Amino acid sequence: MKILVAVKRVIDHNVKVRVKADGSGVELANVKMAINPFDEIAVEEAVRLKESGKASEVVVVSIGDISSQETLRSAMAIGADRAVLVQIPIDMILEPLDIARLLQKIVFAEQPDLILLGKQAIDNDCNQTGQMLSALLKCSQATFASLIEIEGSALLVTREIDGGLETLSLPLPAVVTTDLRLNEPRYATLPNIMKAKKKPLEIHDISQMSFSPLGQVKILTVSEPKKRTGQCTLFNDANALVSELQAKEAI
Ligand code: AMP
């Protein structure tokens, strides 16, 4: 079984994001970047499936500017076998449907049995790409996976839903998006980081892919959240908190 994992380069989740003065986006200059955390979980899951003998190859794909090579190398240091970069100009902004259309092209070329994505990219919180990709591919999908098992030719995916767990059986090929509790990604060891530098990384320039962005969604403005004005009150015990909330008719 071949697994394709989509990984996005995003601002590291420990960094405090700063909005640009003109409201056109967020500051990216000299900011620490990292693999999107849900995508790291997806890579870890694919590598575990390979280590358990259920998968034969793990390919990672990213759509981004040249610096996304670094993200792909990080994914290969976790254990992916090779990488594909769809290189776009540094100032090109693609909406989730464009990303899904580009991933569809890579899926046609690679013919994977299982396609793993994160449930959302932490920079835009869209939570759309996996669902759109499965619609474009006309294949089955399971979102927010907290457990993935392979039984014969079927894929069993457990999802956390309100009030419990739901387990689905899907035919392959399938698109699955990962949730936080699926696994805890390993730290890449130094020897594996070194090995990843030598693994194959194929680059497709978007200008050579007969692709035009849809340009349907435009970001009008980006702004900081409003500063909290309310004062913070410390309560000595829970009863005092409950009385205060009752007085304010909050409960
Ligand atoms: P989103 O729909 O933007 O929240 O992203 C959901 C998932 O789609 C991410 O967790 C990634 O797995 C994948 N994805 C989104 N953007 C990209 C990108 N530029 N390159 C590769 N994968 C992406």
Q: Where are the domains of the chain?
A: 2-224
Look at the pTM and tell me if it is higher than 0.85: yes
Summarised one tens digit per residue, pLDDT across range 35-94 is: 999 999 999 999 999 999 999 999 999 999 999 999 999 999 999 999 999 999 998 999
User: How far away, in angstroms, is 65 Cα from ligand 1 center?
Assistant: 14
Q: Which residue from 138, 146, 191 is spatially nearest to 164, judged by alpha carbons?
A: 146
> Is the shortest distance between the CB of 8 and ligand 1 below 6 Å?
yes
Calpha distance 131→152 (Å, rounded): 25
> Is the shortest distance between the CB of 1 and ligand 1 below 6 Å?
no
pLDDT-above-90 percentage for the chain: 82
pLDDT at 24: 87
Summarised one tens digit per residue, pLDDT across range 102-128 is: 999 999 999 999 999 999 999 999 999
Calpha distance 84→86 (Å, rounded): 7
Dihedral (CA of 66, 50, 98, 95) sign: negative
Which atom of ligand 1 is the closest one to the Cα of 126? Answer: 4
> Beta partners for 87?
64, 205
Summarised one tens digit per residue, pLDDT across range 157-203 is: 999 888 899 999 999 999 999 999 999 999 999 999 999 999 999 99
> Is the shortest distance between the CB of 140 and ligand 1 below 6 Å?
no
CATH superfamily of 2-224: HUPs (3.40.50.620)
Contacts (Cβ under 8 Å, ≥6 apart) of 84: 59, 60, 61, 62, 72, 106, 110, 201, 202, 203, 204
pLDDT at 128: 97
- In 179-246, DSSP assigns E strands to 201-205
The Cα-based distances of 149 to 39, 51, 145, 169, 176 in angstroms read 18, 13, 10, 10, 12
